[in-house]
Structure 1
């Protein structure tokens, strides 16, 4: 088993880190740069920034936040939200991001994945996916912060992303997002079994054991969480220690 990663996720809206449940009931958590710095100090393996309303509101990338964070944070930084073109990818990487996460725009323009991977390398391109269960072992892809059902089969889409050159998938379950009942293990396992590239589990972490369970029951490479870390219920070190105690190699 390859070493696993723990990734705090910072959802940003109007320059503030926020958190909600099923994409609703948004609350302010704090300053994104300071939050990212704190997670860097805790030993996070990576940090993810999502501008959660950029696509919906038709805005670009929050480059100022990325620049300030890159000065203080020395683990890989992934940035998503508002990335529509190869130029957006270039500017985001120039601002200090190590990877970009493309979600809504990738569904609407899959060529963006291929062009980004060809120019900047597969390792720079993470495809973020928001998906919801629609039947037994069947999930559909949503865009614009979980607002628009694209009637696109999740498994077909992850296979296409891999073929286009995506280096990684960040898979978020709308059904479990913010609910804190654990990761969506059936969906996560189905995606991990369908592709060879790393898959990040997102949406639903509510207690310490949820992370190890995801690693032990699916092929995911990393687990991402927000609320648990933001509200200081758990630290990155505590999660890693629990996983190591259960025989899971950690970064």
Structure 2
């Protein structure tokens, strides 16, 4: 494993940064541009933008936000929500995204994973998986912001995504998302040990210890944070220092130490 990536997740509805619990009950947090800039300046490694209502309108409306962010924030940006074709992916990549995350459309048409990977490269194709626990060692893939069942087994779907050309998996536990009660470490480990590509763990971070559990026990390659950052519960500097003190390899930038 390379360096652990610290990722800020920004769920977007219209012009606003929002946050919910279990991907529901969404509350407005503020202007996503201001938050993105702040996280970048504080040393976050990557940003994920998710269009929370894109599936309702069958389109992603984040191009303007992405374009502005890309002019001011010089770290990788992943964008998801409502991507249903290579043309959708192209417009977001042209706007400044580095990667696109696909969930709903991929479950309905797995060929889309291959098409995006072939057209833009596997490194651009992120398979977004929203997972809900069914029983011990078993999770189901959900779509539409964790509202609709697919009948797909999470681990098997992750493996198929790799076969189709996905270069990374964004794995969100719907059960844990927004709860601050910790990641579903068993879920992360089940997927990360089943696939050879990076697994980005999302959903549940509330303490610094949760970060360590996701990486050491879950074998996550990257950890996504939202609530703890949006509400200033833990600073990015604290997170990075904690990671270093626990022998978790994170990016080291000299300029960060002055912040």
Shift of residue 58 of structure 1? 2.1
Q: Provide the rounded CA distance (Å) in 1 between the counterparts of 2:132 and 2:86.
A: 28
Task: Give the aligned partner of residue 203 of structure 1.
Answer: 203
2:222 paired with 1:222: yes
Pair 1:118-2:121 in alignment: no
Tell me if 1:103 matches 2:103: yes
Cα deviation 1:39-62 (Å, max 9, x = unaligned): 110111100000011013323332
Give the Cα–Cα distance (whole angstroms) in 1 for the partners of residues 244 and 58 of structure 2. 42
Runs of 5+ in structure 2 lacking a partner?
Answer: 252-259
Counterpart for residue 234 of structure 2 = 234
State the distance in 1 between where 2:180 and 2:66 align.
Answer: 28
Query: Aligned runs of 1:1-80 on 2, under 5 Å?
Result: 1-80=1-80
Match of 2:2, SS state, is coil
In terms of mean alpha carbon deviation, does 154-163 or 57-66 score higher?
57-66
**For 1:56 and 1:154, how far apart are their aligned partners in 2?**
23
Q: Distance in 2 between matches of 1:213 and 1:190?
A: 14
Name structure 1 gaps, 5 residues minimum: none
Q: Measure the CA separation in 2 of the matches of 1:17 and 1:83.
A: 19
Q: How many residues align?
A: 251
1:194 aligns with 2:183: no
| Larger displacement relative to structure 2 (198-207 or 235-244) | 235-244
Q: Quote the offset at 1:32 in angstroms.
A: 1.1
Shift of 1:225: 1.0
User: What's 2:256 paired with?
Assistant: none
Say if 2:200 and 2:221, in contact at 8 Å, map to a contact too.
Answer: yes
